[in-house]
Chain A
Amino acid sequence: DAMVIQNPRYQVTQFGKPVTLSCSQTLNHNVMYWYQQKSSQAPKLLFHYYDKDFNNEADTPDNFQSRRPNTSFCFLDIRSPGLGDAAMYLCATSRDWLAGGVEQFFGPGTRLTVL
């Protein structure tokens, strides 16, 4: 089945130690998104890729970076995790709206713990 896969599902890191979360998709969608979701809150968009074009949200801290080496893979790098970065990180994909896509397909998320 076509899907959005996130690895690892659970990640523990130490304060200030860089961490990378990965996302892959078999849907061949050209748009990929990274969201941060804290407990009992709605997902908050960090950035998205439209094909290779990177689009950062204005309030996304510089501590968060992303890479998309190809259509299928996208990475979230947290350069110096702080305690406040502990959250669920969700990857999502969608087709271009010109191709009729509006729905975003979400992966299962990676829960990040910062010690």
Chain B
Amino acid sequence: GESVGLHLPTLSVQEGDNSIINCAYSNSASDYFIWYKQESGKGPQFIIDIRSNMDKRQGQRVTVLLNKTVKHLSLQIAATQPGDSAVYFCAEGINNAGNMLTFGGGTRLMVKP
């Protein structure tokens, strides 16, 4: 569901380390899940998506894992770089006419040089 807090969880990692950002989703009927990256003052940017019939998907330096049993989604970023610093949102969606997305609460990733 939507975050209602005023403070985002923050993950601080050293440059070059791997990052893991977690997300708990709410709807067991969701057909797909998307990770978005949002830099300060910009709109969310698509990173990777995964369909509900998959449990893992890899992209360039990123891997998304889906555990439907516990309704958990994670984003792994390999060799984290300063440019990865941003707020990351997971979103879940159902295949329907409007492609509606429900955003989860975000996580702020801070990369230390």
Among candidates B31, B100, B103, residue contacting A48 with C-beta atoms closer than 8 Å: B100
The answer to whether A109 and B43 touch across the interface, beta carbons within 8 angstroms, is: yes
Q: For residue B4, which residue of chain A has the nearest CB? A: A41
> Which residues of the other chain, A, contact B5 by a CB distance below 8 angstroms?
40-41
On whether A102 and B100 interact (CB within 8 A), knowing A41-B2, A43-B44, the answer reads no
In the complex, whether A58 has a CB less than 8 A from a CB of chain B is no
The answer to whether A102 and B3 touch across the interface, beta carbons within 8 angstroms, is: no
On whether A97 and B99 interact (CB within 8 A), knowing A42-B105, A90-B43, the answer reads yes
On whether A50 and B97 interact (CB within 8 A), knowing A40-B5, A42-B106, A44-B2, the answer reads yes
In the complex, whether A81 has a CB less than 8 A from a CB of chain B is no
On whether A42 and B42 interact (CB within 8 A), knowing A50-B98, A97-B95, A102-B34, the answer reads no
> Which residues of the other chain, B, contact A43 by a CB distance below 8 angstroms?
44, 89, 103
Measured CB to CB, the residues of A under 8 A from B are: 4, 6, 31, 39-45, 48, 50, 55, 90, 92, 94-97, 101-109, 111
A104 and B101 alpha carbons, distance in the complex (Å): 8
Q: For residue B33, which residue of chain A has the nearest CB? A: A102
Q: For residue B32, which residue of chain A has the nearest CB? A: A102
The answer to whether B98 and A31 touch across the interface, beta carbons within 8 angstroms, is: yes
The answer to whether A105 and B46 touch across the interface, beta carbons within 8 angstroms, is: yes
CB distance from B94 to the nearest CB of A (A): 9
Q: Which 5 pairs of residues, A with B, have the shortest CB-CB distance?
A: A106-B43, A42-B103, A94-B99, A97-B95, A42-B3
Which B76-102 residues have a C-beta within 8 angstroms of A?
A: 89, 93, 95-101
A45 and B99 alpha carbons, distance in the complex (Å): 12
A sample of 27 inter-chain contacts (CB < 8 A) reads A40-B3, A40-B5, A40-B7, A41-B4, A42-B2, A42-B3, A42-B89, A42-B103, A43-B44, A43-B103, A44-B103, A45-B100, A55-B98, A90-B43, A90-B44, A94-B99, A96-B97, A96-B99, A97-B95, A97-B97, A102-B95, A102-B99, A104-B34, A104-B99, A106-B44, A108-B43, A111-B41
Q: For residue B104, which residue of chain A has the nearest CB? A: A42
CB distance from A108 to the nearest CB of B (A): 5
